Each structure stands twice: as C-alpha cells, then as structure tokens.
C-alpha cells in the first residue's frame, strides 16, 4: 500500500490518481499509524514551509514520517515534501524542517546575482532535469533532460552534494531532485508532468 500524507497542503488527487493509473493500491491519510506503517510513503505538498511544518505537527505526523524514513522503506517527497526534509527553511523567517538532509531552503534572487535578465518568480512551468547520478531507479525510462513541471519560489541547497540526483537551471543551477538510499524527492511535480512524470510515479510504485 502506497500511503500519501494528507496534512492540509494542497490538492493530493493528482498524485493519488497517478498511482492508481498503474493499478497501485493508494491511500490518502493523516493517520500517524498508517503513515508509520506504510509500505511506501509519499509526502506531497504545495504552499508555505512554516504552514506545512505546522500542519504536520498539529496532526502529530513529524515523528511517524521520520520513523518511517529511518525504517529504510521507499520515500518520495514532492515539491514542499522535498523542502521539508531539510534542516532549515527561509520562507517568511527561519524555520526548522525535518532535518533529515542537512542543508537549507532559500529563495530565488535575481536582482543581485548579475543575471542578464531578471527572471520571473515563481519558477513556473516546464524545465529540464539534468541527471547527476547513475542508475537512479525512479528515473528508469526517463531521458536525461526530460521536461518536468515546476512551480516554486524556493529551492534546496544540500550540504552534501552527493545527494543531488538531478539539477536544473533557472538563473542559478539548483537541485531539482535528491536521492539518498531510500529517500527520493523532487522539486518538480511528477503528477503534473505527463508521461515522464507518470513514469517516475510508476517506478517508485515498483520499487
């Protein structure tokens, strides 16, 4: 059973339908026990970092998610679900994240870094992912430089570059996916990225 964590941050229907399309059993829940005991866990989410941490804490989901990840079972974070894994987020002040991956989450800044043209924020639309690791099981049958759908104003900066699975350029070169052991997490939305996004969901379901 693939469990999708519902903590009040955005529409989970597409993620659910994406897995169901390939015949996987999916459950959307905010029950801490079901989260902890999932076979595969998906943490989606759009919105603000602090609201998301508050949402997880109010539902007593912080510990179950951490315990789940430590169990070694496959974990997929999407968008905010990637950012929350990090130690600190800088959206609207400084906020603690789950701290599972050392590093921070910062905002795109284009006025000061000498980019020729001021780029729009949020980074919204289809951009490419450039692979940084070989044999990534959830990128099986996805070509390097495939287009994925992004919508975000903040990006993750892992301290250990060894966790970077793909990178994407938008004024800066940022980490668009991390992979560390059982942890997979994407800045883009596989559930909104048509065929190759669905391939990622399928690969994850098949792990």
Partner 1 sequence: MAQIIPLLGGVRGGFLGRKISVNISRITDLPTPKSPPKRGLSNSTMLAKRIIPCLDVKDGRVVKGTNFLNLKDAGDPVEIAALYDKEGADELTFLDITASHENRDIILDVVKKTAEQVFMPLTVGGGIRNIDDIRRLLNAGADKVSINTAAVKDPEFVTKASRRFGSQCIVVAIDAKRVKGNVANTKWEVYTHGGRTPTGLDAVTWAKEVEAKGAGEILLTSMDCDGTKNGFDIELNRTISEAVTIPIIASGGAGKLEHFFDVFTKGKADAALAASIFHYREISIQEVKEYLIKKGINMRINK
Residues known to be catalytic:
79, 189, 191
- Tallying the residues shown for the chain, one arrives at 207
User: Is position 159 an interface residue for partner 1 (rule: CB under 8 A)?
Assistant: yes
Q: How far apart are CA 52 and CA 165, in angstroms?
A: 24
Q: How far apart are CA 164 and CA 97, in angstroms?
A: 18
Which of 34, 54 has the CB closer to partner 1? 54
User: Is position 142 an interface residue for partner 1 (rule: CB under 8 A)?
Assistant: no
Q: How far apart are CA 54 and CA 188, in angstroms?
A: 23
Task: Draw the binding track, 174-203, toward partner 1 (x: CB under 8 A; -: no contact).
Answer: -----xxxxx-------xxxxx-xx-----
| Least distance to partner 1, CB of residue 63, Å | 7
| Least distance to partner 1, CB of residue 150, Å | 8
Q: Which of 23, 112, 114, 135 binds partner 1 (CB under 8 A)?
A: 135
Which of 33, 93 has the CB closer to partner 1? 93
Which of 33, 190 has the CB closer to partner 1? 190
Q: Do residues 122 and 77 touch, judged by C-beta distance below 8 A?
A: no
Of 180, 79, 188, the closest CA to residue 142 belongs to 188
User: Is position 22 an interface residue for partner 1 (rule: CB under 8 A)?
Assistant: no
DSSP-derived 3-state class of residue 112: coil
User: Is position 1 an interface residue for partner 1 (rule: CB under 8 A)?
Assistant: no
User: Is position 127 an interface residue for partner 1 (rule: CB under 8 A)?
Assistant: yes
Angle between helices 62-70 and 49-58 (to 10 degrees): 90
Between strands 2-5 and 40-43, the pairing is parallel
Residues 6+ apart with CB under 8 A from 58: none
Number of residues that bind partner 1 (CB under 8 A): 86
User: Is position 205 an interface residue for partner 1 (rule: CB under 8 A)?
Assistant: no
Residues 25-84 that bind partner 1 (CB under 8 A): 46-48, 50, 53-54, 57, 62-63, 66, 69-74
Q: Which of 1, 25, 60, 92 binds partner 1 (CB under 8 A)?
A: 92
Q: How far apart are CA 53 and CA 57, in angstroms?
A: 6
């Amino acid at each position: 059973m693939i469990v999708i964590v519902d903590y009040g941050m955005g529409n989970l229907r597409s993620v659910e339908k994406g897995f169901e399309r390939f015949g996987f059993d999916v459950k959307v829940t905010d029950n801490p026990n079901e989260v902890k005991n999932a076979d595969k866990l998906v943490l989606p989410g759009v919105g603000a970092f602090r609201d998301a941490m508050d949402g997880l804490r109010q539902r007593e989901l912080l510990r179950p998610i951490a315990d789940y990840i430590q169990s070694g079972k496959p974990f997929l974070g999407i968008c905010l679900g990637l950012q929350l894994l990090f130690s600190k987020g800088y959206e609207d002040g400084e906020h603690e994240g789950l701290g599972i991956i050392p590093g921070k989450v910062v905002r795109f800044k284009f006025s000061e870094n000498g980019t020729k043209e001021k780029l729009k924020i949020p980074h919204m639309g289809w951009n490419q992912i450039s692979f940084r690791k070989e044999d990534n099981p959830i990128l099986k049958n996805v070509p390097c430089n495939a287009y994925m759908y992004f919508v975000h104003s903040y990006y993750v900066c892992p301290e250990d570059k060894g966790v970077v699975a793909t990178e994407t350029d938008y004024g800066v070169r940022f980490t668009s996916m991390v992979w560390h052991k059982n942890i997979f997490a994407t800045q883009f939305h596989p559930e909104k990225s048509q065929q190759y996004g669905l391939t990622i969901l399928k690969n994850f379901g098949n792990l």
